[in-house]
């Protein structure tokens, strides 16, 4: 064997067992007693939880936005991901006039490879209109291995979304939706600005819960009437969670993700005149009742996935359009702050701390950290479980390790963290990807360029019913 992990507690979504894991040539070859076997390296996992590598289904890397470029490239972001226990992520291919989705996807793949991404990666294809050439591209991209397609209810007309969803279903793909009601947002923002209300808190107050609730309900209705599957991005509200729970009870293929920042922070962070801009993203932060509902939805597996929506804009890019007062302080204007929060390193640690606080079990953590994403997005059976034949994507967690979080200890290329000062119990201490140790005790120790582009194929069952979950 290349590697044996001995004596840890191996966790699946449905149970745990103290045992050994044997790895050779990048694959798990056996889970069981390794006595009598030899390996190039033996890792003593006594007292550790041994879980599948994490899958982050929603990140933005090297994706310029209104003149902002962010601090991370594919190498630095993937290093941070690996240290945080993520072994696979899904980024986006955005439309560009005069270029086909295939051309743009090939360019993004080459960019990630040239930078030296250290974990595996895939892409969602962003669509913004219904047209014959777009329908042809959907078929082509499903065959290519990028069968998930993102749309924004804030920028794409309902008729186009409906038509695109219909074609995505026809081609065996999955619709991935940013769900907010643009009309209500426009009305509330205009109202606030007319009244001179520009403090950061108005990012939340102009996007009340109904903005998300209505859009999720509408997208779920579209999918149900079409007999299609839909995946809801970054659910932030208790109403959104309730829609997902109702769909799950009916066995409908309405899937969803939430993010660490929605599990931790309330909109009160936006009341900070100095640092409130750091917490601005869309959807905005919510209230305690929403946080509680999201944890419960993860626990009952009606929210199936966690992602970070990672956007590594440094402070100066967050504030690029803001003016300063005579003392050099930024003048708050919520509608001019660059949206996005850096977090690719903090997803699994936040879930681990949730286990420490009794909000999840280890089995539930495995489901929302990797298994749900692997099943829904077409990585399974290569990823998502520690079982013979799967990729040896494995994370060792010390459940007792206590950490006081500072930006200095993290590896995302940005000059702050919204997690600053939080106290966590439990932490990933080793990340293994396809049998290679990438990270150990908070340091990256793996080879540059280890990550590979993964072609995905969706399980037809996933697109018809959620009863599997």
Q: What residues have CB less than 8 Å from 155, skipping those under 6 apart? A: 128, 182
Which tokens in the block code for residue 333?
């204007």
| pLDDT value for 147 | 98
Q: Does pLDDT of 416 surpass 90? A: yes
Q: Output 191-196 pairs: Cβ under 8 A, ≥24 positions apart.
A: 192/334, 193/335
With DSSP H G I counted as helix, E B as strand and the rest as coil, what are the percentages for the chain, rounded to 5?
35, 25, 40
324 Cβ neighbours under 8 A, 6+ residues apart? 330, 331
Give the predicted TM-score (pTM) of the model: 0.98
For residue 66, pLDDT beyond 90: no
- What pLDDT digit, counting tens, does each position of 120-175 carry? 999 999 999 999 999 999 999 999 999 999 999 999 999 999 999 999 999 999 99
Average pLDDT, the chain: 97
| pLDDT score recorded for residue 152 | 98
Give burial (CB, 10 Å; 0-12/13-18/19+) of 97. Answer: exposed
Q: Indicate whether 420 pLDDT > 90.
A: yes
Residues 260-281: tens digit of each pLDDT:
999 999 999 999 999 999 999 9
Our CA angle for 87, 261, 222, nearest 5°, is 85
Residue tagged 């939430």 (tokens)? 258
- The answer to whether residue 358 scores a pLDDT higher than 90 is yes
Binning pLDDT at 50, 70 and 90, where does residue 119 land?
Answer: very high
Q: Which pLDDT does position 316 carry in this prediction?
A: 96
Q: Report whether pLDDT(469) > 90.
A: no
221 SS3 class: helix
Give pLDDT tens digits for 275-299: 999 999 999 999 999 999 999 999 9
Contact (Cβ atoms closer than 8 angstroms) between residue 47 and residue 395: no
Provide Rg for the chain, Cα atoms: 21
Taking the alpha carbons at both ends of the chain, their separation in whole angstroms is: 34
- The stretch 444-455 carries a mean pLDDT of 98
Q: Could you tell me the pLDDT band of residue 65, with boundaries at 50, 70 and 90? A: confident
DSSP 17: E
Backbone angles phi, psi at 48, to 5 degrees: -105, 150
Give the pLDDT band (50/70/90) at residue 367. Answer: very high
- Supply the pLDDT for residue 452: 98
**Both tokens of residue 258?**
């939430």
Residue 101, pLDDT above cutoff 90: yes
In order of their start, the domains of the chain are 53-377 (3.20.20.140)
**3 state SS of 78:** helix
């Amino acid at each position: 064997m290349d590697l044996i992990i001995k004596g840890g507690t191996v966790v699946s979504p449905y149970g745990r067992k103290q045992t050994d894991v044997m790895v050779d040539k990048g694959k798990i070859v056996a889970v069981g007693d390794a006595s009598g076997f030899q390996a190039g390296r033996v890792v003593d996992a006594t007292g550790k939880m041994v879980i599948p590598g994490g899958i982050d289904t929603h990140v933005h890397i090297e994706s310029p936005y209104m003149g902002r470029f962010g601090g991370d490239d594919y190498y630095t972001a993937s290093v941070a991901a690996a240290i945080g226990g993520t072994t696979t992520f899904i980024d986006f291919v955005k439309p560009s006039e005069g270029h086909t989705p295939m051309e743009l996807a090939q360019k993004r793949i080459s960019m990630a490879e040239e930078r030296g991404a250290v974990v595996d990666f895939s892409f969602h294809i962003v669509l913004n209109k219904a047209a014959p050439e777009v329908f042809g591209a959907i078929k082509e991209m499903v065959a290519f291995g990028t069968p998930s397609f993102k749309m924004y209810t804030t920028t794409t007309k309902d008729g186009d979304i409906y038509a695109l969803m219909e074609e995505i279903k026809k081609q065996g793909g999955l619709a991935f939706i940013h769900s907010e009601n643009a009309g209500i947002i426009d009305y509330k923002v205009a109202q606030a600005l007319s009244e001179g209300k520009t403090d950061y808190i108005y990012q939340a107050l102009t996007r009340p819960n109904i903005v998300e609730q209505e859009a999720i309900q509408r997208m779920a209705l579209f999918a149900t009437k079409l007999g299609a599957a839909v995946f809801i991005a970054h659910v932030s509200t208790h109403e959104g969670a309730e829609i997902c729970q109702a769909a799950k009870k009916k066995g409908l293929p309405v899937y969803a993700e939430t993010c660490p920042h929605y599990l931790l922070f309330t909109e009160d962070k936006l009341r900070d005149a100095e640092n409130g801009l750091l917490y601005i993203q869309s959807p905005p932060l919510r209230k305690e009742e929403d946080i509680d509902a999201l944890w419960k939805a993860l626990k009952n597996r009606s929210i199936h996935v966690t992602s970070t929506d990672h956007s590594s804009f440094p402070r100066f890019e967050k504030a690029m359009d803001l003016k300063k007062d005579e003392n050099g302080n930024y003048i708050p204007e919520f509608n001019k702050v660059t949206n996005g929060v850096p977090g690719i390193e903090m997803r699994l640690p936040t879930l681990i701390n949730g286990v420490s606080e009794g909000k999840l079990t280890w089995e539930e953590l495995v489901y929302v950290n990797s298994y749900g994403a692997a099943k829904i997005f077409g990585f399974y059976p290569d990823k998502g479980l520690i079982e013979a034949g799967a990729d040896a994507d494995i994370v060792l967690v010390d459940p007792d390790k206590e950490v006081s979080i500072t930006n200095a200890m993290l590896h995302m290329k940005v000059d702050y963290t919204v997690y600053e000062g939080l106290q966590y119990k439990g932490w990933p201490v080793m990340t293994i990807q396809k049998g290679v140790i990438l990270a150990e005790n908070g340091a990256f120790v793996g080879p540059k360029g280890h990550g590979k582009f993964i072609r995905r194929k969706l399980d037809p069952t996933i697109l018809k019913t959620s009863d599997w979950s």
